[in-house]
């Protein structure tokens, strides 16, 4: 029986647990666990460096998309080959696990994880001039990344509503910008409002931004919103249900390698990353996700 290395992000904006509570919950399911409570991203890496054998360990994050992102980065940057990864929702978004309809209740989620159903999932690596990071769900380039950057500066008492507040604040002064994007088979160099590059299907707390995305095909779904601010507002509302894809001003492409050549803000998995230029590479079937 493998041991579960459980990372609980104490800063996640979902249900709060103590280490003792988590130990009791996992013990009630007769699971061998080592539980670590973290506050900073670098702490996750410190933990994983001590448990690098995927033949002995399964890695579980408790939190939202940021927690899962931190765990996956620690695993892949430590060269752990095709690790088994689980995620239990306890965050404000938890969008990646929506694709698998994972239960929000921790006990129900553990029962699902214990069934031992693994799903080979792609991840992607993004590299800018000063930073590099893996992501598993959705990257935004342009306006939506700028709203995430603002949301991270908001005071703590509005953190639960940080995304919608920052969205509307940024929308007041937002406008189109020039985007220069290069894939293996397609070049875009024109005005646009936002670019969403999707591995998963959901982002932003349940918006079905990319209903046709596959997590296993080795390709990212690229959506270029070649629209004005007014039309972008309409399309973003349609995107909550995945209804924006039929609009002719949403350009849809797929690629396993993407160059972002202009200096626009970039966010990945709900956290601000950096500014372009940057390059993205798909890492096909790099983790085994427990569903």
pLDDT tens readout for residues 241-262? 899 999 999 999 999 999 999 9
pLDDT in the model for residue 112: 94
Could you read off the pLDDT of 94-129 as tens digits, one per residue? 899 998 989 989 999 999 999 888 999 999 999 999
pLDDT in the model for residue 165: 77
Spatial distance between the Cα atoms of 197 and 266, rounded to a whole number of angstroms: 10
Buried b (16+ CB within 10 A) or exposed e, 16-53: ebeeeebeebbeeeebebebbebeebebbbebbeebbe
Beta-strand relationship, 220-225 and 194-198: antiparallel
Q: Is 241 buried (19+), middle (13-18) or exposed (0-12) by CB count in 10 A?
A: exposed
pLDDT in the model for residue 157: 63
Spatial distance between the Cα atoms of 237 and 39, rounded to a whole number of angstroms: 34
The larger pLDDT score, comparing residue 147 to residue 180, is at 180
Q: How confident is the model at residue 281 (pLDDT cuts 50, 70, 90)?
A: very high
Q: Does the pLDDT of residue 91 top 70, yes or no?
A: no
pLDDT in the model for residue 50: 97
Q: How confident is the model at residue 192 (pLDDT cuts 50, 70, 90)?
A: very high
Across the chain, what does the average pLDDT equal?
A: 92
CB contact at 8 A, 9 and 62: yes
Residue 262 main-chain phi, psi, to 5 deg: -105, 160
Spatial distance between the Cα atoms of 180 and 128, rounded to a whole number of angstroms: 15
Q: For domain 127-284, which CATH number applies: 3.40.640.10, 2.60.200.40, 3.30.830.10, 2.60.120.1440?
A: 2.60.200.40
Average pLDDT over residues 194-213: 93
Ordered by start, the domain boundaries in the chain are: 3-116, 127-284
Average pLDDT over residues 218-240: 91
Spatial distance between the Cα atoms of 23 and 35, rounded to a whole number of angstroms: 7
**Under CATH, domain 3-116 is a member of which superfamily?**
Probable inorganic polyphosphate/atp-NAD kinase; domain 1 (3.40.50.10330)
pLDDT in the model for residue 244: 94
The larger pLDDT score, comparing residue 162 to residue 207, is at 207
Average pLDDT over residues 215-244: 92
Q: How confident is the model at residue 207 (pLDDT cuts 50, 70, 90)?
A: confident
Could you read off the pLDDT of 19-34 as tens digits, one per residue? 999 999 999 999 999 9
Average pLDDT over residues 52-81: 96
For residue 257, give both structure tokens.
């390698």
Average pLDDT over residues 37-50: 95
Provide the 3-class DSSP secondary structure of residue 291: coil
Tokens 């626009």 found at = 264
């Amino acid at each position: 029986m493998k041991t579960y290395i459980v990372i609980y992000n104490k800063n996640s904006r979902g249900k709060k647990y103590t280490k003792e509570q988590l130990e009791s919950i996992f013990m009630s399911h007769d699971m061998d666990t080592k539980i670590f409570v973290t506050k900073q991203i670098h702490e996750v890496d410190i933990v994983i460096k001590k448990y690098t054998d995927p033949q002995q360990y399964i890695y579980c994050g408790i939190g939202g998309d940021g927690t899962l992102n931190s765990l996956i980065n620690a695993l892949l940057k430590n060269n752990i080959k095709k690790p088994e990864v689980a995620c239990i929702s306890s965050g404000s978004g938890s969008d990646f696990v929506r694709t698998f309809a994972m239960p929000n209740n921790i006990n129900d989620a553990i029962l699902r994880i214990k069934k031992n159903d693994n799903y080979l999932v792609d991840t992607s690596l993004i590299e800018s001039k000063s930073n590099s990071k893996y992501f598993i769900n959705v990257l935004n380039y342009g306006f939506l990344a700028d709203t995430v950057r603002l949301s991270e500066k908001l005071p703590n008492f509005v953190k639960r509503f940080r995304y919608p507040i920052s969205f509307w604040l940024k929308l007041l002064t937002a406008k189109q910008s020039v985007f220069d994007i290069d894939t293996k088979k397609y070049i875009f160099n024109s005005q646009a409002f936002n670019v969403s590059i999707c591995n998963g299907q959901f982002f932003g707390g349940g918006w079905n931004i990319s209903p046709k995305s596959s997590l296993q095909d080795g390709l990212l779904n690229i959506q270029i919103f070649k629209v004005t601010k007014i039309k972008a507002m309409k399309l973003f509302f349609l995107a909550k249900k995945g209804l924006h894809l039929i609009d002719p001003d949403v350009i849809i492409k797929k690629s396993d390698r993407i160059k972002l050549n202009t200096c626009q803000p970039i966010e990945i998995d709900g956290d601000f990353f950096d500014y372009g230029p940057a390059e993205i590479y798909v890492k096909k079937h790099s983790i085994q996700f427990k569903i």
